[in-house]
Amino acid sequence: MKRILLTGANGRLGSRLAKALLELGYPQIHLSSSAQVENIPGVKYIQVDWQDLQIPEINDVDVIVHLAHQTSAYQARKDVEADIQSNLISTVRIIESVRKSPRPIHFIYMGSLTEYGTMNVNPINESHRNFNPETFYDCSKLAVELYLRQFQAEEVLNTLTLIRLGNLYGFTENPKQMHRGFFDNAIFDAYHGQEVTCYGDGNFLRDFIHVDDLIAGILAFIESSDGAADGMFNLAGGTGHTLRVALNEIGEQLNLVGKGPMRIRYQDFPLNAYSIEKRNHVADISLIKKSINWTPKISLSVGISKSINYYSSADITK
């Protein structure tokens, strides 16, 4: 069975993926800046300082799933050098740690649809190459992809999976966590009777993808043949929803459990807001569906309901 190196294993996405891999019996090595919470059979743990980045040599992995990186465009603008360190330098150091591995390495990297820029030609497919990054965050993401391609060209990496991710949601853990995502925060706040603020008129298109569908997609890449997993893939729902429609769906789901009405306030974007906030993005997902036999299973309404039901059963307060 393939041995997995997982970075960011204690993060919101990494912890879910680690659990799914354990349930399937995959042996794992976890790289994380956080202390290991518990000893888990089948998991080797390596704590790293992402600033110092002294990563020991690793020779016994087949697949690297790299999830440990800074995820806020505004934090990247606030400290550009730190963002480069978090995204680009850390990725290079991880690859250098496995450079001498005798095994062929499959590297899975998580990018974003925002790397395509604010193009309004939908659905966006992977053949679009005129990338126009509009944030430092997307600049670093694209730089990482270029370096990964070069590592593959020089045969350090055997298979390279570059994921362009849609608007991820479905996280119910750590509701007070910074940069948790607008939509997850909107569900949480609305459930607890708080007013939700949406910048703009709410008519910008988003392509939502539930975290459970993302996990299924990553697992499908891990389990697929090398040829099928090699390349760039849009991983999203493949359906566009305006933010207004998506927020109204939260309200309808809340009404079903007696938690409505939902209060939404639309207001102008802050003066320092990036233009990428005003994007219209819908992904063409035909390539990923054909390559690894994956398709999203969770509709937006079902995904919202899953979060609301969790908050109701867990009695989580703000």
107-152 pLDDT, tens per residue? 999 999 999 988 667 899 998 766 778 999 999 999 999 999 999 9
183 CB-side CA count, 13 A: 28
| pLDDT of res. 36 | 67
Minimal CA–CA distance to 70: which of 140, 122, 129?
140
| pLDDT of res. 315 | 64
CB atoms within 10 A of CB 216: 17
> What's the average model confidence in pLDDT over 180-194?
92
Residue 218 token pair:
């990553």
18-42 pLDDT, tens per residue? 999 999 999 999 987 776 666 788 8
Class of 4-169+208-238 in CATH: alpha beta
146-184 pLDDT, tens per residue? 999 999 999 999 999 999 999 999 998 765 555 568 999
What lies within 8 Å, CB to CB, of 8 at 6+ separation is: 14, 31, 32, 66, 67, 68, 69
CB 152 within 8 A of CB 91: no
How far is C-alpha 123 from the chain's CA centre? Answer: 20
Asked if residue 75 has pLDDT above 70, the reply is yes
224-283 pLDDT, tens per residue? 987 899 999 999 999 999 999 999 999 999 999 999 899 999 999 999 999 999 999 999
Query: What residues does each domain of the chain span?
Result: 4-169+208-238, 182-204+241-281+298-314
Minimal CA–CA distance to 17: which of 55, 64, 72?
64
Residue 217 token pair:
């997609």
Angle between helices 182-191 and 243-256 (to 10 degrees): 30
Q: Write down the residue that tokens 């392509």 correspond to.
A: 207
DSSP calls for 19-84: HHHHHTT--EEEEESSPP-S--TTEEEEE--TTT--PPP--S-SEEEE--S---HHHHHH-HHHHH
Strand ranges across the sheet with 43-47: 43-47, 28-32, 4-7, 63-66, 106-112, 159-165, 231-235
